[in-house]
């Protein structure tokens, strides 16, 4: 997976510390230097790396720590906590509600996989029991409507678009109104991919947002974007109220740290990640599980959830056997 290289480097730095006989300020500084170097090599924004280093140093006073306390564990937990906070801006993302129209507008750079992500998201929400529809408001890219149409047909999700209308705001408004009237619960508006320097396309994005008044604006980010991520994400945030982020292409790039920087720039939490080309290659994002997997510790939270569910199932089986047994 992407960030696996970063995760293994951080894990090595933590492991090296645990193999040291005495944990002192020098050992902590060496560990932090290795972790910061790994983060910078993974394209994480330098300000974030500096913040992580300062937070760990402020939070853990090695010299003043009482005897008997496991300094290695305290340091390791501090680093993990800071990695989690780097990915969690502390904002609760918008949660679509059933039996009402939830308009969700997708924005992002050209080539980030936005149109495919719109379909993946719709397909996932459809499987969760929502009535979903797609609107193509991308009139800039040739073949955009055809791509959305093809994806939506394959996923068996209704769609709306136009080959003749050139005003994306009008298409978006018409599509949203149509699906609202028909009782759809999640209406996804796909917009033109744009670049920070394309002022006209940013104005168009604002117009689409004003036309449909979205409940949530999702910023779609290619995990391999690199150092430009922070500035690009900031530019989007300056034009529309970005409420959540979806990271794509988490299956094929060795870095991906730029995606972490996007979270800091937008102040919006990552809600989902795309992990492959197929429509099912899409999953909910959970910070602790992600950091745990990144460091090679496995999906601890997911495992705990499965164990809880197994216990519930066993209890149900046991009670049904007990109540179903013949008396006497």
pLDDT of 32 > 90? The answer is yes
Q: How far apart are CA 272 and CA 270, in angstroms?
A: 6
How far apart, in Å, are the Cα atoms of 223 and each of 2, 68, 101, 251?
8, 42, 30, 9
pLDDT of residue 327: 39
Q: Which of 59-63, 79-83, 240-244 has the lowest mean pLDDT?
A: 59-63
pLDDT of 298 > 70? The answer is no
How many CB atoms neighbour CB 284 within 10 A? 10
pLDDT of residue 156: 96
**pLDDT > 90 fraction of the chain, expressed in percent and rounded:** 38
Q: Which domains does the chain have, with CATH numbers?
A: 4-87 (1.20.120.140), 102-294 (3.40.50.300)
**Contacting residues for 96 by C-beta, under 8 A, at least 6 apart:** 102, 104, 125, 130, 185, 186, 215, 216
Q: How far apart are CA 236 and CA 266, in angstroms?
A: 8
| pLDDT tens digits, 107-144 | 988 888 899 999 999 999 999 999 999 999 998 888 89
| pLDDT tens digits, 226-258 | 667 777 778 888 888 889 999 887 765 545 566
Q: Which of 14-23, 75-84, 148-157, 226-235 has the lowest mean pLDDT?
A: 226-235
Q: Which of 85-89, 201-205, 253-257, 259-263 has the lowest mean pLDDT?
A: 253-257
pLDDT of residue 2: 45
Most confident range, picked from 76-90, 109-123, 297-311: 109-123
């Amino acid at each position: 997976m992407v960030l696996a290289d970063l995760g293994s480097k951080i894990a090595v730095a933590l492991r090296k510390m645990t193999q040291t006989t005495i944990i002192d300020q020098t050992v902590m500084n060496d560990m932090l230097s290795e972790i910061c170097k790994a983060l910078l090599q993974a394209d994480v924004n330098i300000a974030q790396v500096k913040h992580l280093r300062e937070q760990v140093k402020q939070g853990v006073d090695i010299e003043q720590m009482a005897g008997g306390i496991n300094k290695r564990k305290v340091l390791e937990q501090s680093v993990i906590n800071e990695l989690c906070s780097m990915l969690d801006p502390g904002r609760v993302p918008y949660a679509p509600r059933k039996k009402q129209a939830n308009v969700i507008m997708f924005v992002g750079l050209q080539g980030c996989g936005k149109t495919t992500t719109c379909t993946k998201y719709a397909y996932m929400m459809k499987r969760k029991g929502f009535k979903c529809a797609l609107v193509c408001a991308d009139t800039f890219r040739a073949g955009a409507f055809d791509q959305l149409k093809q994806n939506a047909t394959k996923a068996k999700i209704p769609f709306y678009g136009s080959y003749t209308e050139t005003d994306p705001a009008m298409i978006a408004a018409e599509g949203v109104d149509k699906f609202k009237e028909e009782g759809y619960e999640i209406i996804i508006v796909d917009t033109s991919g744009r670049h920070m320097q394309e002022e006209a396309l940013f104005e168009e994005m604002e117009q689409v947002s004003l036309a449909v008044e979205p409940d949530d604006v999702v910023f779609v980010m290619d995990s391999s974007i690199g150092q430009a991520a922070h500035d690009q994400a900031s530019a989007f945030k300056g034009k529309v109220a970005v409420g959540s982020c979806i990271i794509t292409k988490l299956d094929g790039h060795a870095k991906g740290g730029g995606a972490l920087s996007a979270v800091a720039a937008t102040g919006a939490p990552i809600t989902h990640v795309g992990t492959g080309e197929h429509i099912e290659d899409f999953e909910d994002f959970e910070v602790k599980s992600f950091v745990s997997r990144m460091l090679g510790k496995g999906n601890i939270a997911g495992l705990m959830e499965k164990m809880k569910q197994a216990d519930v199932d066993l209890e149900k089986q046991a009670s049904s056997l007990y109540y179903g047994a013949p008396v006497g």
